[in-house]
Structure 1
Amino acid sequence: MDFGVMLLTGIALYLLVQFVRFIFADADLTLLWATLLGSKPETKLKGLVVWVTGASSGIGEELAYQLAGCGSRLILSARRVDQLDRIDILINNGGRSQRSLCLETSVDVYQALMELNFLGTVSLTKQVLPHMTQRGSGSVVTVSSVVGLAGAPLATGYSASKHALQGFFNSLRTELTEYPRILISTVCPGPVQSQIVQNAFTEEVGKAIPTAGDQQHKMATSRCVRLILVGIANGTKEMWIAQQPFLLFYYVWQYAPTWAWFITDVLGRKRVQNFKAGL
């Protein structure tokens, strides 16, 4: 067998392995490589002071449990300014979702979503970041969403707040290039088992959502959080975390947006119809 045939065979096998890995993937390939070959959270995060917002349930609660298992020192509520200089990692996880049609949604809902999801996160970050720049190290990790990358029906305000977070932290990262030891990271999870739907805004502030929906098809919270911690431990700037076919949609949206719009048109129409029918 000559060298050319061996080279082509090797390339074909490599592509086949990557294809199979992608079929069973639940995160972007960079993050998955980090789970196999990168630093372990138990080593990198041990002893660090971590402030987790939104830690009462869902991803935030699981973050607290797993960080404690890594030996991190947790701050689940921080109100004193003199404690902010102790924080090694800020994890912005607080926020609320939305389930309502734009034409039926009060402007008050949009204002509440932006104040809580975007401005609240920016405010916390601005309180902690000066202490990190002063000592030249630290991490600011923000839990965004798949709808921070691509729009979705029934979530116009929520999607807007997450797009705002993506834009803010991507821009902030460019301003901090003189601080190479400060990590600005965004996490874009797909559907994850949590109470985010139960707590979602509807068309009016204070109106509860009628149904929480099925949680069985969503990613386990423990797996999502493990991937987040691996990403933090390895300095990952952006993490895509989702089961298939949602992960595939991330890549289609990134590299073939025309096809992505076709998919969202078809699926979005069906989802709106089901919502109007009470399904």
Structure 2
Amino acid sequence: MSWELLLWLLALCALILPLVQLLRFLRADADLTLLWAEWQGRRPEWELTDMVVWITGASSGIGEELAFQLCKLGVSLVLSARRVQELERVKRRCLGRNCLKDCMFFLIYLLGIDILVNNSGRSQRSLVLETSLDVFKELINLNYIGTVSLTKCVLPHMIERKQGKIVTVNSIAGIASVSLSSGYCASKHALRGFFNALLSELGQYPGITLCNIYPGPVQSDIVKNALTEEVNKSMRNNIDQSYKMPTSRCVRLMLIAMANDLKEVWISDHPVLLGAYIWQYMPTWASWLNCKLGKKRIQNFKNNLDPDLPYKFLKAKKD
């Protein structure tokens, strides 16, 4: 092979590879590191069996689906949630498939937790100027203080055993803030700061790993159960979930991240995934775009429409 032909082939590869990566990104529903792990990494079926996993917020949505998929891997589950009846329903669902090895509702297995999944939390749909300070306090107490408190409770036992994994379900809103969710975004930003700092402190404990999950819009009850202007005021209408990522796909990607000890993963369809990248690398442009979309979200909210209609429209055009 002549040097000229070799150089030509190298130049062609240099052009093709970025195009392949671009096409891959345009079809992505998660960050590229996670998708690479899905393709070439360790399987949850190999890595997560015979473990004790505690899932908070397990009564619906991501927590429920996570319990269902984990129980099929042969794990022992500790499920907790505020809504006991819904938690019982999740238990029956798992038992109905004869895949539940062990399911408990109290902290009797605290000393033997292999994986803690911090999934509990609530969202928000209200304007800052119309929202009671109690709502912001509630969001910080539940989403941030509650998660930190539970992590501090379990972590010493993991350190004593020299092994353990703490998985925290954050949100893309913990990276890129959106209107109508100021208190929710603040609580998720706080979680990101806390766990990034904790990660740097755990370097002396190599057996302890952290995995921070940042989902975008996912089919769940988080919007239906969102706080509004007052702590005791419910949402005014139900929100269409059909255009959001199926919960089963989100949870499968979460399990892959857990199996491969990925430190931070983003899980979302476009255009939200693209927005997270823009926010990360071009914050000034992202702020401008966020203001433009924010006006439309607020207008829809005031008209009793789905605030996420701009996202829904862009997703429909893509599909």
Asked if Structure 1 and Structure 2 have the same fold, meaning a TM-score greater than 0.5 normalized by the shorter chain, the answer is yes
Q: 1:147 to 1:39 in 2, by over 3 A?
A: same
Q: Relative to structure 1, is the Cα distance of residues 157 and 65 closer, same or farther in structure 2, using a 3 angstrom cutoff?
A: same
Which of 241, 265, 272 is the matching residue for 2:298? 272
Rounded Cα–Cα distance in structure 2 between residues aligned with 1:209 and 1:257? 31
1:93 aligns with 2:119: yes
Distance 1:81 1:248 in 2: 40
Percent of pairs with identical residues: 56
Deviation at 1:82, TM superposition (A): 5.3
1:233-252 Cα offsets, whole Å, 9 max, x none, are 00000010000111111111
Residue 36 (structure 1) aligned with residue 49 (structure 2) = no
Match of 1:139 in 2: 165
Aligned with 2:150: secondary structure? Answer: helix
Q: 1:193 to 1:274 in 2, by over 3 A?
A: same
**Structure 2 matches for 1:20-31, cutoff 5 A?**
20-31=23-34
Counterpart residue type for residue 162 of structure 1: K
Q: Within 5 A, what are the aligned runs for 1:1-279? A: 1-77=4-80, 83-279=109-305
Structure-2 separation of matches of 1:130 and 1:67: 24
Larger Rg: 2
Q: Which runs of 5+ in 1 are unaligned?
A: none
Asked if 2 retains the 8 angstrom alpha-carbon contact of 1:26 and 1:247, the reply is: yes
Deviation at 1:81, TM superposition (A): 5.5
3-state secondary structure, aligned to 1:202: coil
Greater RCO, 1 or 2 (C-alpha within 8 Å, sep 6+): 1
Contact 2:51 2:115 in 1 (8 A): yes
How far apart are 1:276 and its partner, in Å? 1.6
Shift of 1:212: 2.4
Q: What letter corresponds to residue 201 of structure 2 in structure 1? A: E
The Cα offsets for residues 171-209 of structure 1, whole Å up to 9 and x where unpaired, read as: 000000011221111111000000001100000011110
Letter in 2 for 1:20: L
Q: CA offset at residue 256 of structure 1?
A: 1.2
Give yes or no for contact 2:237–2:304 (8 Å, CA) kept in 1: no
- In the alignment, is the contact (CA less than 8 A) between 2:214 and 2:267 conserved in 1? yes
Letter in structure 1 aligned against 2:268: A
Q: Give yes or no for contact 2:78–2:105 (8 Å, CA) kept in 1.
A: no
8 Å contact from structure 1 (residues 42, 71) kept in 2: no
TM-score of the two chains, using structure 2 as the length reference? 0.85
Q: Which amino acid aligns with 1:21?
A: R
Stretch of structure 1 that moved more, 6-15 or 152-161: 6-15
Letter in 2 for 1:170: N
SS in 2 for 1:100: coil
**Equivalences, count:** 279
Query: Following the alignment from structure 2 to structure 1, what is the Cα–Cα distance between the partners of residues 14 and 76?
Result: 46
List structure 1 segments (4+ residues) > 6 angstroms apart after TM superposition. none
Distance 1:199 1:174 in 2: 34
1:2 CA displacement: 2.5
* CA–CA distance in structure 1, aligned partners of residues 180 and 252 of structure 2: 29
Distance in 1 (CA, whole Å) between partners of 2:14 and 2:189 is 38
Deviations 1:80-137 (A, max 9, x none): 5552111000000001000000000000111111111111111110110001111211
Q: Distance in 1 between matches of 2:11 and 2:132?
A: 59
Q: Deviations over 1:31-63 (max 9, x none)?
A: 000000000001100001100000000000000
- 3-state SS of the aligned residue for 1:184? strand
One-letter amino acid of the structure 2 residue matched with residue 161 of structure 1: S
Distance 2:257 2:44 in 1: 9
Which residue identity is paired with 1:136? K
User: 1:39–1:230: 8 Å Cα contact kept in structure 2?
Assistant: yes
